[in-house]
Structure 1
């Protein structure tokens, strides 16, 4: 617990907690049409009392769009990581527990996916399926599945050699019950930590896909779309890129710091 309350853990918790609260309450407190409301007389206005973060090239309030974009980014990232867990967790557990030809076949499939950089694989899938919200989630989820499957396999291999698993086998417990009762509970800490860190990278991947036009589409309040739209105005209105860029950086930083501390807490070998 002391490590959790360290400066690093406290900063990570504050950043992550703030983003989660913004993601939950911003769409409730801010009218949906506020994110797309245009005022051409105020386009590219610098930060002011009326627009604390300035406006974009269409006169839309950047603070409103960044706050609404928090919900969108977290929703995509969390859903994509949950998808990778649903696929990668059983894949890695079965591979690590049974070993042999099952392990070889499944891990060669995973190695094939790992041969491609995660963002490149997500780009390819998104380009094939087409750019929209659902396909962005699928692309990111599939791209992160092999990383999680590898980690789960390693943990399952370790746990499968423990004496209590051998005792369960000797007592006649079925493989499915061993996987459910003994393997899964003992690898969950590693899965939780990896999921936390993967959410950070999924946010980056979503921003990258949207920046390249293969993620969420306008007029959605996506951080990647805001950065992409700011390219032509960096010399006149740098805040149009800085505001969403800082939002991405703070969220990823908070998740990484929180994930590191969470790993120290949940990993018994570090105590």
Structure 2
């Protein structure tokens, strides 16, 4: 509760939390409210209609309501982003802890592997993996998760290296504490704040990566509704129906903005090195 109060003391944190909670509420409750076939129902007589009382955000090239499609797209985009970040944590957390705690030759081998992955831009690496595995939702999660793993592993390795040199860790090691207990009881709890902050910021980049992969045809596939897929489908109608791209584009922008603002404030709260 104390942490949440600190988050709300900052206007940036308040705005970020509101934006994130709004998108999260839409992603969770929209499928329960919207009829299953309403967002995919095509009406060629209403295609490319501008925003109006009948269609609050207009319609797309197939006459589908943009308002309902962008709400369902929130579920798909967040599902991919959250799953990909969780995957990167599952892969990067033990990799970073083992490398930072044990050091030596094992650290050199693991970090050279991480450096090899870091040599490729994250989006390019995700694009390559998705192209090899094939474009669908599970493969998109795997591609983004693997692409973000080296960034998380590098940060966790640095934190584990710092904590492993603390006096209380040296004292526990001198007392005969096993490596497993040392990692579980001393290393892991002290690197979790940095891990949580990095995961929050990675969510924003994962949403952008999903939108980019879907736009290139290597992410979510029809008939699923995702923001990147909606932008990709609207590229031929920008001159006559710009709202078909602006609506999902603004959805991506607001979600990324909220996550970045929330992550910045969360870092200031959880990282004691940034406190005044």
**TM beyond 0.5:** yes
SS for the counterpart of 1:57 is: coil
Which residue in 2 is equivalent to 1:182? 186
Which residue in 2 is equivalent to 1:158? 162
State the aligned residue count. Answer: 271
State whether structure 2 residue 76 is matched by structure 1 residue 80: no
State whether structure 2 residue 226 is matched by structure 1 residue 233: no
Distance between the aligned counterparts of 2:97 and 2:103, measured in 1? Answer: 10
Once the 2 structures are TM-superposed, how far is the Cα of residue 34 of structure 1 from its aligned partner?
1.3
* Residues 167-221 of structure 1: per-residue CA shift (max 9 Å, x gap): 1111111001100000000000000000000000000000000000000101111
State whether structure 2 residue 218 is matched by structure 1 residue 220: no
Distance between the aligned counterparts of 2:9 and 2:183, measured in 1? Answer: 34
TM-score by length of 1: 0.99
Distance between the aligned counterparts of 1:174 and 1:119, measured in 2? Answer: 40
State whether structure 2 residue 59 is matched by structure 1 residue 55: yes
SS for the counterpart of 1:35 is: coil
**Runs of 4+ displaced beyond 6 Å:** none
Which residue in 2 is equivalent to 1:133? 137
Change (3 A) 1:62 1:119: same
State whether structure 2 residue 25 is matched by structure 1 residue 16: no
Once the 2 structures are TM-superposed, how far is the Cα of residue 224 of structure 1 from its aligned partner?
0.6
Once the 2 structures are TM-superposed, how far is the Cα of residue 3 of structure 1 from its aligned partner?
5.3
Which residue in 2 is equivalent to 1:34? 38
Unaligned runs of 5+ in 1: none
Distance between the aligned counterparts of 2:6 and 2:192, measured in 1? Answer: 22
- Contact preservation (8 Å) 2:135, 2:220: yes
State whether structure 2 residue 231 is matched by structure 1 residue 202: no
Once the 2 structures are TM-superposed, how far is the Cα of residue 6 of structure 1 from its aligned partner?
1.4
* Residues 232-252 of structure 1: per-residue CA shift (max 9 Å, x gap): 100000000000000000000
* Residues 22-66 of structure 1: per-residue CA shift (max 9 Å, x gap): 111001111121121000000000000010000000000000000
After superposition, residues 62-101 of structure 1 pair within 5 angstroms as: 62-101=66-105
Distance between the aligned counterparts of 2:36 and 2:196, measured in 1? Answer: 33
Once the 2 structures are TM-superposed, how far is the Cα of residue 5 of structure 1 from its aligned partner?
2.1
> Alpha carbon RMSD of aligned pairs, Å?
0.7
* Residues 143-169 of structure 1: per-residue CA shift (max 9 Å, x gap): 000000000000000000001110111
SS for the counterpart of 2:38 is: helix
- Contact preservation (8 Å) 1:4, 1:262: no
- Contact preservation (8 Å) 2:73, 2:227: yes
Distance between the aligned counterparts of 1:99 and 1:2, measured in 2? Answer: 36
Distance between the aligned counterparts of 2:212 and 2:142, measured in 1? Answer: 15
Which residue in 1 is equivalent to 2:263? 259
Once the 2 structures are TM-superposed, how far is the Cα of residue 4 of structure 1 from its aligned partner?
3.7
- Of the structure 1 ranges 32-41 and 209-218, higher mean CA displacement relative to structure 2 is found in 32-41
